[in-house]
């Protein structure tokens, strides 16, 4: 059972996806927030891309498999992944 909890991200599995915002940038009208979290001895690449569309703030959360020993590295890559999402998908990521 603990294997399934870890697989599906149960808080008792050691990883918490409710990480605080480590850094925030603006890119092409979108706000990208890096929110890496501690997982299995490293920091998991994670973030949120948001933009106000028609008076409503839309958000797209992403988690990648990349893990880093240093928090700064995870923050940098999370921001780069967010920029890549914006460049490749733009507002389509909210649809």
* Tens digit of each residue's pLDDT, the chain (95 residues): 444 444 444 443 444 445 689 999 999 999 999 999 999 899 999 999 999 999 999 999 999 999 999 999 999 999 999 999 999 999 999 88
Domains and CATH numbers, the chain: 16-94 (3.30.160.350)
Q: How far apart are CA 83 and CA 80, in angstroms?
A: 5
DSSP H helical ranges for the chain: 2-7, 71-89
Is pTM beyond 0.85? Reply is: no
Q: How far apart are CA 76 and CA 55, in angstroms?
A: 30
Nearest to 84 by CA among 42, 30, 37: 30
Nearest to 48 by CA among 86, 87, 14, 15: 86
Indicate the burial class of 19 (C-beta count within 10 angstroms; 0-12, 13-18, 19 or more).
Answer: buried
Q: How far apart are CA 19 and CA 45, in angstroms?
A: 11
């Amino acid at each position: 059972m603990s294997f399934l909890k870890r697989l599906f991200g149960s808080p008792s599995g050691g990883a918490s996806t409710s990480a605080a915002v480590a850094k925030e940038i603006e890119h092409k009208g979108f706000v990208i927030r890096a929110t890496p979290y501690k997982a299995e001895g490293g920091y998991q690449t994670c973030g949120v891309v948001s933009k106000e569309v028609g008076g409503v703030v839309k958000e797209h959360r992403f988690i990648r498999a990349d893990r880093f020993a240093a928090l700064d590295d995870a923050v940098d890559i999370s921001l780069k992944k967010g920029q890549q999402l914006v460049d490749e998908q733009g507002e389509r990521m909210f649809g």
